[in-house]
């Protein structure tokens, strides 16, 4: 079992430099792509950052929820935290899947951003995730 795994998109990639986690993420990754390549993960903590690259996609909320559920079903962890992206579009789906599993949420809206997608300071986000 691994101590910590980061799953998802460029936000997860950025967090890696500040968290001692195994990285299962790639810049530009969508929830659909993560669901297609998902593999079982057993870890103490899993941090999931998905949704930023689904914005503006024609992906219906039901499809997004389905993809997120596929990802979540393959995780066996003591603690799972979903990082809510700055864009509100995927929030409902992420919140629903997190609630179904008793997972935690960290909303990026609480952190400054220059581009509306990535936090200005990954260190600040990582510090909050450690709490």
Q: How far apart are CA 68 and CA 31, in angstroms?
A: 6
The model's pTM is: 0.94
What CATH number is given for 2-130 in this structure? 3.40.50.1110
Q: How far apart are CA 5 and CA 34, in angstroms?
A: 14
Strand ordering across the sheet containing 41-49: 22-25, 2-8, 41-49, 75-84, 104-107
Residue extents of the structural domains in the chain: 2-130
Check residue 60 and give its pLDDT: 75
- What are 92-123's pLDDT values in tens digits? 899 999 999 999 999 999 999 999 999 999 99
- What are 72-100's pLDDT values in tens digits? 999 999 999 999 999 888 998 999 999 99
- How sure is the predictor about 56, in pLDDT bands with cuts at 50, 70 and 90? low
Residue with tokens 């790639």: 26
């Amino acid at each position: 079992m691994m101590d910590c795994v980061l799953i998802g998109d460029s936000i997860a990639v950025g967090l890696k430099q500040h968290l001692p986690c195994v990285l299962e993420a790639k810049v530009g990754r969508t929830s659909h792509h993560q669901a297609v390549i998902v593999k079982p993960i057993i870890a103490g903590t899993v941090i999931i950052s998905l949704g930023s690259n689904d914005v503006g996609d024609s992906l219906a909320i039901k499809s997004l929820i389905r993809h997120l559920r596929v990802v979540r079903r393959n995780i066996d962890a003591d603690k799972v935290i979903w990082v809510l992206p700055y864009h509100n579009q995927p929030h409902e789906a992420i919140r629903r899947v997190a609630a179904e599993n008793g997972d935690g949420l960290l909303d990026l809206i609480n952190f400054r951003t220059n581009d509306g997608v990535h936090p200005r300071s990954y260190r600040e986000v990582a510090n909050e995730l450690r709490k």
